[in-house]
Amino acid sequence: MPFTSLGLGAKITTALTEQGYVEPTPIQAKAIPVILEGRDIIGVAQTGTGKTAAFVLPLLERLSASPSQKHMRALVVAPTRELVAQIEENIRAYGRHLQLRYATIFGGVGEGPQIQALHRGVDIAVATPGRLLDLMQQRHVSFANLQVLVLDEADRMLDMGFLPPIRKIVAATPTVRQTLLFSATLSKEIEAVSKEFLKTPVLVEIGARSTPVEAVAQWIVEVSQAAKVPALVHLLKDAALESVLVFSRTKHGADRIARKLEDAGIRCATLHSNRTQGQRILALKRFKSGEVRCLVATDIAARGIDVDGISHVINYDFPPQPEDYVHRIGRTGRAQAVGDAISFVSHDEMDDLRRLERFLGRGITRRKLEGFVANTPHPTPSADRAPGTGHRPPGGGRSHARPGGHRPGGAAGGSWRPRGPGGQRSGPPRRGRT
């Protein structure tokens, strides 16, 4: 199915062809016609499915059909600065032949240029909730001509506590508008928000709810907290790990991991909220270009990462929430490529692993790292936990799959080895994903 069959004009389809895109992804094929009809929509799709273009393309088509006005006609709200920048890249690339004005609004930089852009007039504003609300309270924002409101990665915005500011933003928009909500999961909270903000929406759902992409091979490596750094260094010494995203639970942990990797001769970059906007942009640029093959990031900062060709995701700290696991491993195995997700699990993270396996309805394969022997002793059960944080409840031993659950490759005892030259991954070189 070509893009032209979806109702997009020649200028937009030309831009798509110039970017190397010929056919829409499933979420684009289903969502674009509905959006062009003017319907509200709930789009549920995992990371790497082309979700951003699924709303950017019809938004550009709709706005290009009429002349620009003084005040913004479309507002896209996203949780992080990185995601705002990624959406702007999509607007710039696919709207290159259109005479539309757009601006980004986010914190971490001065307000002046953003205020000036709003006063000059924009067709599309892409904003984070906090900075947008600040400028609204300063009376620099007008929604008088707003036609379309997009809430992107709504599940993450709820996780980050943005529901109160989002409610204020939505309340300030016209009651007659088109609202598009996109999320990687369809939780009860998302359903409640949809009922609050949308009118008779069409549900467009791609793939199973809240489950990892099938193109990702998932492995668990049981390792003590003290042995995680040596295990990570051991993994990254293998050249088969071409482009690796490492997740840390905290920003200070991310910095510590990066220092240890640099000490071991492994070049890497970090991405977290303590980095300036310039540092974040540079880190992503170095990672996308291949200057560094390892990026250490926190969950919130990584929400803006949109890079094809990530060969491996490594959960250095196991995520406590299953939804975070889904978001994390969705960064690999994109654009028809094969990816690996490797999760380090210490004794005190076993409860989180069990929770994930119940969520998935199956077990995850346990593997040992081939050739790795930890030089540090396995700590006692309480040694992995920071002082004063208490202990896990009884039963915090080894994880088991739920009854009837499938554990590919059997239980612990096998060895994991990165795919070698015979397991080359398909797909294009690293580039921004639609």
Q: Report domain extents, the chain.
A: 3-205, 216-423
The pLDDT assigned to 335 comes to 54
CATH of domain 3-205: 3.40.50.300
| Cα atoms in the 13 Å half-sphere on the side-chain side of 135 | 25
Same CATH fold assignment for domains 3-205 and 216-423: yes
**pLDDT tens digit string along 318-352?**
998 887 888 788 778 665 556 899 999 999 999 99
Angle at the Cα of 44 (from 364 to 217), degrees rounded to 5? 25
pLDDT value at 230 more than 70: yes
The pLDDT assigned to 74 comes to 98
Residue 402 to residues 25, 172, 359, 393, Cα–Cα distance (Å)? 34, 47, 10, 19
Question: Positive or negative, the Cα torsion across 260, 261, 265, 270?
Answer: negative
CA 332 to CA 422: how far, in whole Å? 19
pLDDT value at 400 more than 50: no
Residue type, 271: L
SS3 state of residue 222 = strand
CA 147 to CA 71: how far, in whole Å? 11
According to the CATH classification, is domain 216-423 in 3.40.50.300?
yes
**pLDDT tens digit string along 358-380?**
877 788 999 888 778 765 444 43
pLDDT value at 279 more than 80: yes
Q: What DSSP line would sit under 25-79, residue for residue?
A: -HHHHHHHHHHHTT--EEEE--TTSSHHHHHHHHHHHHHHTS---SS-SEEEE-S
- Please give the structure tokens belonging to residue 33: 């016609």
CA 25 to CA 1: how far, in whole Å? 10
- Please give the structure tokens belonging to residue 425: 């991954």
The pLDDT assigned to 276 comes to 81
Which of the two residues, 411 and 83, has the higher pLDDT score?
83
Q: What DSSP line would sit under 254-272, residue for residue?
A: HHHHHHHHHHTT--EEEES
Mean pLDDT of all residues in 156-171: 93
- The closest alpha carbon to 364, from 330, 407, 395, belongs to 407
Q: Could you tell me where the beta strands, DSSP code E, fall in 288-421?
A: 294-297, 312-315, 339-345, 365-366, 368-369, 415-416
The pLDDT assigned to 329 comes to 87
Residue type, 433: R
- The closest alpha carbon to 53, from 152, 155, 123, 139, belongs to 152
- Please give the structure tokens belonging to residue 80: 């992080």
Mean pLDDT of all residues in 393-412: 35
pLDDT band for 68, please (50, 70, 90 cuts): confident
